[in-house]
Amino acid sequence: MKNFELSKRLTSLPPYLFAEIDRQKKDLRDKGIKFIDLSIGDPDISAPAAVIDNLYQAAKNKENQKYALDQGKQALRASISRWFLKRFAVTLDENKEILPLIGSKEGLVHFPLAFVNKGDYALIPSPGYPGYRGAAVFAGAKIYEMPLLEKNNFLPDLDKIPESVKNKAKIIYVNYPNNPTSVVAPLEFLKRLVAFCAKYGIILAYDNAYSEIYFEEKPLSIFEVPGAREIAIEFHSFSKTFCMTGFRVGWACGNENLVNGLLKVKTNIDSGIFGAIQDAAGYALDKEAVYMEDMRKIFKERRDFFVQNIKNKTFKNVHAQATFYVWAKLPRKFKSSIEFSKYLIQEKRIIATPGIGFGKYGEGFIRFALTCDKQVLKEAINLL
Ligand SMILES: Cc1ncc(COP(=O)(O)O)c(C=O)c1O
């Protein structure tokens, strides 16, 4: 069989972090070795029972068995608009400013194809969600990694971006509450970010996938910042908000011109989201406010328990402000996050994600995902 070479585009990407971790897990399973998995942000909590019932009923509807409209169902867009108004006091026109997605990753990765030309710069956070890198590379962009440093509370220092990069930048990805560092962005920073994008004509792709996983201050929508609608598109996900990762549904919203560009890309790639999933997603937004409250309580209890027990024991610096991630500085004796994660797997049978996998400025840290119950966390704490 002829061995076709992969495209330069693909070979220029590092192995997708979670695919690599999956391989390690499979290895352990094949050897019959038990392990504790704190590596992937896939919640163990069930999606709301009524949403699943709704999905089952909706699947029987013959209309839902056909291709779905590219723009998403009117009813789902209306639910998103109502929820957005209630949650952020932001009005979105459901006919022009909202686009349902096959999960937010799909939209985040396809979006640059609409606006970024070969050679434009894409500014991506480091550490950051690995999807942004693929998005930039697929669109032919040059990548500039913005360091998210502990001393800056994991916010990018926009003043440090070289003038030559800012002038050629087309898009900036920003994500708060942040994966992997867990921090929430203050309004002051978001105002500076919007002013920065407006000044340099940069599109702001604001990833708000974790907007509902907070424990203290409520995360903001970028559209709570005056002027944001001129330059921003915001991404939301049902994956984390309703523990619906497998359903594959999310949405993009905001600037009409940006939303339209993404729609145009999508009409060339996919043929909509299964109608029953759209119905179930709309139902979740309309009816499941209490579910979100309960979910936050569970994640907060886990966070408090885990952090109290690992802080000042194995780890000195531990960050766990929002999301279900804990971002911890490596114990001193370990030189790299890969070395530490290997040690955790081999000696403790715990799988966690090495910081370097999120970009070079993630080095020196490890990420724990608290996506298993307290009993399992207790076992992990005892081993750590
Ligand atoms: C920061 C961030 N954005 C987006 C996503 C993608 O979520 P989904 O495609 O499931 O909506 C994830 C998933 O882990 C994430 O961590």
CATH code (residue 209): 3.40.640.10
| Dihedral Cα 296, 301, 303, 306, nearest 10 deg | -160
Inter-residue contact 100 to 266 (CB < 8 Å): no
Task: Judge if 27 and 99 occupy the same domain.
Answer: no
104 and 55 assigned to the same domain: yes
Determine whether the shortest distance from the Cβ of 105 to ligand 1 is under 6 A: yes
State the Cα–Cα distance between residues 357 and 367, nearest whole angstrom.
10
The answer to whether residues 274 and 152 belong to one domain is yes
Mean pLDDT of 342-366: 94
Distance from the alpha carbon of residue 105 to the mean position of ligand 1, in angstroms:
6
Q: State the chain's maximal CA–CA distance in angstroms.
A: 61
- In tens, the pLDDT along 201-212 reads 999 999 999 999
pLDDT of amino acid 69: 80
Q: Which of 240, 255, 288 is the last residue of a domain?
A: 288
42, 109, 154, 207, best to mutate for ligand 1 pocket (most atoms within 8 Å of CB): 207
Band the pLDDT of 49: cuts 50, 70, 90: very high
- H helices of the chain, in order, are 8-11, 17-30, 49-60, 74-88, 104-110, 112-115, 131-138, 163-168, 187-200, 228-231, 238-241, 256-267, 275-287, 289-310, 337-343, 374-383
SS3 (DSSP) at 327: strand
Asked if 128 contacts 142 with a C-beta cutoff of 8 angstroms, the reply is no
Over range 95-117, report the average pLDDT.
98
Rounded alpha-carbon distances, angstroms, from residue 157 to 97, 149, 238, 240, 360: 30, 9, 30, 28, 16
Sheet holding 353-354, edge to edge: 318-319, 325-329, 365-369, 353-354
Atom of ligand 1 nearest to the CA of 248: 10
Asked if pLDDT for residue 21 goes beyond 90, the answer is no
Q: Is there a domain that residue 84 lies in?
A: yes
Tell me the pLDDT band of 13, cut-offs 50, 70 and 90.
Answer: confident
Residues in the chain: 384
The residues pairing with 174 across neighbouring beta strands, listed in sequence order, are 206
Whether the predicted pLDDT of 36 surpasses 90: yes
Residue 187 lies in a domain: yes
Give the DSSP H/E element, type plus range, for residue 122. Answer: strand 121-126
Let me know whether 174 and 315 are in one domain: no
Pair (255, 376) in one structural domain: no
Asked whether 366 and 353 are in contact (CB, 8 A), the reply is yes
- CA 281 to CA 270: how far, in whole Å? 19
All residues at 6 or more sequence positions from 20 whose CB lies less than 8 Å from its CB, including other chains = 357
Taking the CB of residue 94, how many other CB atoms lie within 10 A of it? 19
Q: Are residues 37 and 156 in the same domain?
A: no
Do 123 and 247 have their domain in common?
yes
CA distance 316 to 127: 20
Q: Which of 176, 213, 239, 367 to mutate to test the pocket of ligand 1 (most atoms within 8 A of CB)?
A: 239
Please tell me the predicted confidence (pLDDT) of residue 193: 98
Centre of ligand 1 to C-alpha 332, Å, is 31
Q: What is the rounded average pLDDT of the residues 147-153?
A: 98
Does residue 2 belong to any structural domain of this protein? no
My answer on whether 152 and 269 are in the same domain is yes
For residues 346-371, average pLDDT: 96
**Does the structure show a pLDDT above 90 at 146?**
yes
23 falls in which pLDDT band (50, 70, 90)?
Answer: confident
Average pLDDT over residues 220-239: 98
Per-residue model confidence (pLDDT) at position 221: 98
**Statement: residue 18 has pLDDT above 80:** no
pLDDT for residue 25:
85
CB atoms within 10 A of CB 145: 18
pLDDT of residue 201: 98
Pairing of strands 318-319, 325-329: antiparallel
Give me ligand 1 centre to Cα 237, in Å. Answer: 7
- 104 and 142 fall within a common domain: yes
- In angstroms, the CA 120 to CA 123 distance is 10
Place of tokens 């991506």: 124
Partners of 354 in the β-ladder = 366
Mean pLDDT (whole number) for 93-97: 98
352 lines ligand 1 (CB under 6 A): no
170 lies in some domain:
yes
Q: Which of the listed residues 257, 288, 319 is the one where a domain comes to its end?
A: 288
Q: Please work out whether the CB of residue 207 comes within 6 Å of at least one atom of ligand 1.
A: yes
The C-alpha atoms of residue 288 and residue 295 are separated, in whole angstroms, by 11
Instruction: Mention every residue, 6+ apart, whose C-beta is less than 8 A from residue 138.
Output: 9, 109, 112, 113
Summarize pLDDT for 163-172 with one digit per residue, the tens: 999 999 999 9
Could you read off the pLDDT of 125-139 as tens digits, one per residue?
Answer: 999 999 999 999 999
Would 153 be classed as within a structural domain? yes
In a domain, residue 111? The reply is yes
Domain shared by 296 and 260, yes or no: no
Q: What is the dihedral of CA 16, 20, 23, 28, to 10 degrees?
A: -150
Ligand 1 centroid – CA 206 distance (Å)? 12
pLDDT for 20 beyond 80: no
Number of domains the chain contains: 2
Query: What does the pLDDT read at residue 67?
Result: 93
In ligand 1, the atom with minimum distance to the C-alpha of 239 is: 10
Binding site membership of 337 for ligand 1 (Cβ less than 6 Å) = no
Q: For the residues 285-305, what does the mean pLDDT come to?
A: 97
- Taking all residues of the chain, what is their mean pLDDT, rounded to a whole number? 95
278 within ligand 1 shell (Cβ under 6 A): no
pLDDT reported for residue 242 = 96
pLDDT at residue number 239: 97
Q: Return all residues near 325 (Cβ < 8 A) that are at least 6 apart.
A: 41, 179, 180, 181, 182, 367, 368, 369, 370
Please work out whether the CB of residue 251 comes within 6 Å of at least one atom of ligand 1: no
Neighbours of 89 (CB within 10 A): 10
- One domain for residues 141 and 269: yes
User: Considering the domain boundaries, does residue 1 fall inside one?
Assistant: no
Residue with tokens 């006091």: 89
Domain end (from 254, 271, 288): 288
CATH number at residue 344: 3.90.1150.10
Q: Tokens in use for 283?
A: 């139902």
Q: Hey, which of 237, 244, 324 would you mutate to test ligand 1's pocket, going by the most ligand atoms within 8 Å of its Cβ? A: 237
**Cα 373 to chain center, whole Å?**
22
Q: Which domain holds residue 350?
A: 8-46+290-383
Q: Are residues 230 and 299 in the same domain?
A: no
Mean pLDDT of 241-245: 96
